[in-house]
């Protein structure tokens, strides 16, 4: 469960509000967040795992306040970035997964076995020892998911995880996310992906302008984004 209580984010100088005071509770298994670029979607996601602390108000995950228990929250919440190269830091996928598993303080042999099992689960075992720069965008994104999920977070936050992908890899990532046991909160510009959630937030201008059933949310967003066509002579 994720709880926002009057959570507000302003720029450091206080001159601009990035996210207006927000109070809501997210308990659904799949929550999608849609809205225009620059509307505040990523700001909201970064509040969930403590990458960003609210200027005022609070955010709590499973009862832990991100301001006072940030390290515990970050162990609980996994974060997947839009560009997987932002979080893949080792030369190969196997090394990245094993590095992630070091947080569990496992013996080296156990880390290797768990990494092997995880790579197999995600269908990446044949790519495990290739350079991450030799992988396709979809393979990198799935690897980034595997790296984050290696430590078994209870909540997964994904910031536009399919934006850089072709249709085939888009479908692969969506299928993987649909099958996860974790609560997942994700932003997306893919409205079909948004419809696969249990609840959808529409954000515009740093405010949640709709919160509810995905089909209605998508319809509201289409109305919000409608651009009049050119006048006919």
What average pLDDT does range 108-135 have in this prediction? 86
Asked if 50 contacts 25 with a C-beta cutoff of 8 angstroms, the reply is no
pLDDT of residue 229: 46
> Is 225 or 229 the better-scoring residue by pLDDT?
225
pLDDT band at residue 156 using 50, 70 and 90 as cut-offs: very high
pLDDT of residue 47: 95
> Is 110 or 204 the better-scoring residue by pLDDT?
204
Q: Which domains does the chain have, with CATH numbers?
A: 2-225 (3.40.50.300)
What average pLDDT does range 8-17 have in this prediction? 90
pLDDT of residue 233: 46
| pTM of the complete model | 0.88
pLDDT band at residue 75 using 50, 70 and 90 as cut-offs: confident
pLDDT band at residue 227 using 50, 70 and 90 as cut-offs: low
Check residue 67 and give left, alpha or beta (phi > 0: left; psi -120 to 50: alpha). Answer: alpha
- Asked whether the predicted pLDDT for residue 198 surpasses 90, the reply is yes
Average pLDDT, the chain: 89
CB atoms within 10 A of CB 55: 16
Q: Which two tokens stand for residue 203?
A: 């954000």
* Of the candidate ranges 40-49, 170-179, 223-232, the one whose mean pLDDT is the lowest: 223-232
What average pLDDT does range 90-100 have in this prediction? 89
The secondary structure of 72-117 as a DSSP string is HHHHHEEEE-SSGGGT--SSBHHHHHHHHHGGGT--HHHHHHHHHH
- Asked whether the predicted pLDDT for residue 232 surpasses 50, the reply is no
pLDDT tens by residue, 214-224: 999 999 999 98
């Amino acid at each position: 469960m994720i709880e926002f209580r009057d959570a507000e984010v302003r720029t450091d100088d206080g001159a601009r509000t990035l996210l207006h005071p927000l109070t809501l509770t997210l308990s659904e298994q799949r929550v999608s967040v849609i809205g225009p670029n620059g509307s505040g979607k990523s700001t909201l996601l970064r509040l969930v795992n403590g990458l960003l602390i609210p200027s005022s108000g609070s955010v709590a995950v499973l009862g832990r306040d991100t301001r006072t228990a940030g390290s515990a929250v970050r162990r609980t919440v996994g974060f997947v970035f839009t560009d997987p190269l932002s979080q893949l830091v080792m030369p190969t996928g196997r090394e990245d997964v094993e590095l992630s598993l070091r947080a569990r303080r496992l013996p080296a042999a156990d880390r290797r076995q768990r990494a092997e099992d995880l790579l197999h689960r995600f269908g990446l075992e044949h790519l495990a020892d290739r350079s991450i720069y030799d992988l396709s965008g979809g393979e990198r994104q799935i690897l980034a998911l595997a790296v984050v999920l290696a430590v078994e977070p209870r909540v997964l936050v994904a910031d536009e995880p399919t934006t850089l992908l072709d249709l085939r890899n888009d479908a692969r990532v969506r299928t993987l996310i649909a099958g996860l046991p974790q609560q997942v909160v994700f932003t997306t510009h893919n409205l079909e992906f948004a419809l696969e959630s249990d609840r959808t937030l529409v954000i515009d201008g740093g405010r949640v302008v709709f919160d509810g059933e995905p089909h209605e949310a998508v319809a509201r967003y289409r109305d919000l984004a409608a651009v009049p066509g050119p006048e006919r002579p």
